[in-house]
Amino acid sequence: MPHKAIALIHPGTEFNVDPPPPCAEQWVWEEPGHIGIRQWNNELSHRRKFLIAKGKYRELPNSPDKCGAITFWGEWEPRSRATRLVARNNRKCLQPEFVHRPIPVLAGEPRGCQNTDPFVFGDRFYYTNCSQTGIMRLLDNGSVILFGTPYPHSDEFHVDTVFVVRDYVSPCAYLAAPDHLPQQLRLATLDLGGLAANNLGLRFYKGATPADGCPFSFVPCRPAPGDQPLGHARLRLCRRAFGIRRTFQGHPFIECVETQDQCSEFWWRVVKECKKQGLFLGHSIILPPFPDVERGADALHKRAVSGCSAPDPPVAASPVRSSPRCRGRS
């Protein structure tokens, strides 16, 4: 099986605060335009959120872990509690407009159509389906995937997740023993619209963790002391400097990265760039207990849940690109 370092392109924009109907119904405001619940994403495209959650982070790969609230860019398509960071006209380029606190999915609650991939919460990361065709279903352990977004008229690739392949579970193995994978991953992704049952050729990749040694999966992050978030940009990589030049089955892949040692060397270069940009290596990110997310906001919670009533849509057979997970460019 091949070792590869691949830049997997997915949408990088935040949610529109003033979308036209019917997307306007996906915001339930406590303070209009400032504090509210962002419903489960039912739009045609995935979005990125600037998130805050508790987790572990380290300055360098071999540094000791620190624990606390961290901020990072990522994907969480279920509901989240959003708080405006800055006025729209005062926002700096590439800085977030809102910070989102993820709300765990409750078993039995109505769910939206978009699932979450990569899934960066819990003991380890998972990459299960986004644009997973061809060689993306054959990656060997130690392969590196940079999830991010190239920006027009720029040589930069903006990275929100660095994923290192550790192992994988087949959909058949998952369906035979679903309890072996985390419940939130199942509710937010694997069981949404029958993803696993209808796409048996997928691989549910498990990400390497610090306990597995270097390299490991991480989100470029910053600590948020006192649970007070400050906006920051994603990790920015120069495409030419990092060899993100050629297209491989729809994805830019990293030139001259063909072996496990070369993948590891490439990962260390990415880590050094995090250090230069004042970003830490975040992992073991915890979804908050449900009652802690919406303290004193029972009425808002009821309005949000009642508005998120779309049934699980069917998931198309392979290629996964045609499934709800990969509508549009993903």
- Strand (E) or helix (H) holding 263: helix 260-276
Query: Is the confidence at residue 326, as pLDDT, over 60?
Result: no
Dist. CA 59–CA 276, nearest whole Å: 11
**pLDDT tens digits for range 93-147:** 678 999 999 999 998 888 888 999 999 999 999 999 998 988 899 999 999 999 9
**Strand, helix or coil at 242?**
coil
| Band (305; pLDDT cuts 50, 70, 90) | very low
Which of these, 48, 16, 38, 41, lies nearest to 219 by C-alpha position? Answer: 48
**pLDDT tens digits for range 19-71:** 655 555 788 889 988 999 999 988 778 889 999 999 999 999 999 999 999 99
pLDDT at 3: 82
**pLDDT tens digits for range 174-193:** 999 999 999 999 999 999 98
pLDDT at 250: 52
Query: Is the confidence at residue 86, as pLDDT, over 90?
Result: no
**pLDDT tens digits for range 94-108:** 789 999 999 999 988
Dist. CA 81–CA 266, nearest whole Å: 36
Query: Is the confidence at residue 265, as pLDDT, over 90?
Result: yes
Query: Is the confidence at residue 325, as pLDDT, over 90?
Result: no
Q: Which of 91-100, 160-169, 241-250 has the highest mean pLDDT?
A: 160-169
Q: What is the tally of structural domains in the chain?
A: 1
**What is the percentage of the chain residues whose pLDDT exceeds 70?**
79
C-alpha distances in Å from residue 100, one per residue of 13, 76, 229, 330: 14, 9, 10, 21
Contact at 8 Å (CB) between 19 and 47? no
**Average pLDDT value over all residues in the chain:** 83
Beta strands of 42-195 (E only): which ranges?
49-58, 66-74, 80-84, 98-102, 126-127, 144-150, 156-169
pLDDT at 253: 65
102 — phi, psi (to 5°)? -65, 140
**pLDDT tens digits for range 3-12:** 889 989 887 7
How would you classify the pairing of strands 144-150 and 5-9? parallel
Question: What is the distance in angstroms between the CA of the first residue and the CA of the last residue of the chain?
Answer: 24
Q: Kindly give, in sequence order, each residue whose CB lies less than 8 Å from that of residue 38, ignoring residues fewer than 6 positions away.
A: 15, 26, 27, 49, 79, 80, 81, 82, 100
pLDDT at 248: 47
pTM of the model: 0.85
For 97, the domain range is: 5-326
Dist. CA 48–CA 46, nearest whole Å: 7
Q: Which of 54-63, 81-90, 250-259 has the highest mean pLDDT?
A: 54-63
pLDDT at 13: 80
C-alpha distances in Å from residue 326, one per residue of 69, 168, 176, 197, 329: 30, 20, 25, 17, 7
| Band (330; pLDDT cuts 50, 70, 90) | very low
Choice between 317 and 223, residue whose per-residue pLDDT is larger: 223
